[in-house]
Amino acid sequence: MSSFSDFNQQSDVRTDGEHQIQLDMLSALCRAVRKSPPSAEVGEILERLVAYCEAHFMSEELLMRLNSYDSYEEHVGEHIGLMDDLERITSAHNSGNSGLLAEQADSVFKLIGQHIGTHDKRFSDFMAAGMQGK
C-alpha cells in the first residue's frame, strides 16, 4: 500500500469521526434552543459549531482536491450553503430573534445529516474505489 493511499484511508476514518462530532454538536444545539428561557450556551455552541464546520469543510475540500474528485464544485457549493444556514442562525440568535431558532436548528441538523448521507457518502465511495485500485 502506498503512503498516499495510507493517508487517504486515515483521512476517511478521521472524516467519519468529524461527521459524528458535527452531528453531536447539532443535536446539542437543538436541545439548547428548546430550553426556556433560551440557554446561554446557544451562542457558545453556535460559535464552536461554525468554527468546527469551517475547519472540517476545509479539510474535506483539500482531500477532494488532492484526489481530483469529480464532483468537487458541486460539493463545495453545498458546504457554502450550509455555512450560510449556520450564519443565518447565528445572526438570528445574536439579534435576539429566538422565535425561529428551534426550527432553524432542526432544519440545519437535517440538512447536514442529508449532506453526510449523500454528498459525503459519494465522496467516501469515490475514495474507497480509488484505494481498491492501488
Q: How many helices (H) and strands (E) does the chain have?
A: 5, 0
Nearer to Fe ion, 34 or 56 (CB): 56
Kindly state whether residue 120 participates in binding Fe ion, applying the rule CB under 5 A: yes
- State the nearest-atom distance from the C-beta of 97 to Fe ion, in Å: 28
Nearer to Fe ion, 31 or 56 (CB): 56
Q: In a 10 Å sphere around its CB, with 0-12 CB exposed, 13-18 middle and 19+ buried, how is residue 95 labelled?
A: exposed
Applying CB under 5 A, the span of 1-9, 39-47, 83-91, 113-121 interacting with Fe ion comes to 113-121
| Binding track, positions 1-40, relative to Fe ion; x by CB under 5 A | ----------------------------------------
Q: In angstroms, what CA-CA distances link 79 with 11, 23, 30, 57, 108?
A: 18, 15, 20, 7, 12
Question: The C-alpha cell of 3 is what?
Answer: 503512503
Amino acid at 113: G
Nearer to Fe ion, 54 or 103 (CB): 54
- State the nearest-atom distance from the C-beta of 102 to Fe ion, in Å: 25
Tell how far CA 133 is from the center of its chain. 28
List residues binding Fe ion (CB under 5 A): 60, 120
